[in-house]
Amino acid sequence: MNRVTIDELINRLEQVLRQERTREEISDWAYQWMEQYENIDGFDWTASDEVVWSCLQTIVGMDLLETPSEYLHDRSDLESWVTAFKKLKNHH
């Protein structure tokens, strides 16, 4: 099975911040990866996979709305996720 990397997660968040992709696109992408990880029998989870899983759980919620026209997580949240993911990358 292919595995998603923290670098890919960071890149996807940065694409949203640069307005190259929508939050909804990246949330859907993250959800698809989560489904892949969940549906593999006998998948041997590594420490890195567990970190990526945690990051995917964060990203999948990036398109949640607080009001009909306002996201629950603002731009500064996404920027802080990028920073946090980069720190995680440096530790794994």
**pLDDT tier, 79 (very low <50, low <70, confident <90, very high otherwise):** very high
- Per-residue pLDDT of 18-55, as tens digits, reads 999 999 999 999 999 999 888 876 667 888 888 999 99
1 has pLDDT over 80: no
- Contacts of the segment 26-29: beta carbons below 8 A, 24+ positions apart: 26/59, 26/62, 26/63, 27/59, 27/60, 27/61, 27/62, 27/63
The whole-chain average pLDDT of the chain stands at: 92
Whether the model clears a pTM of 0.85, i.e. scores above it, the answer is yes
pLDDT of residue 89: 85
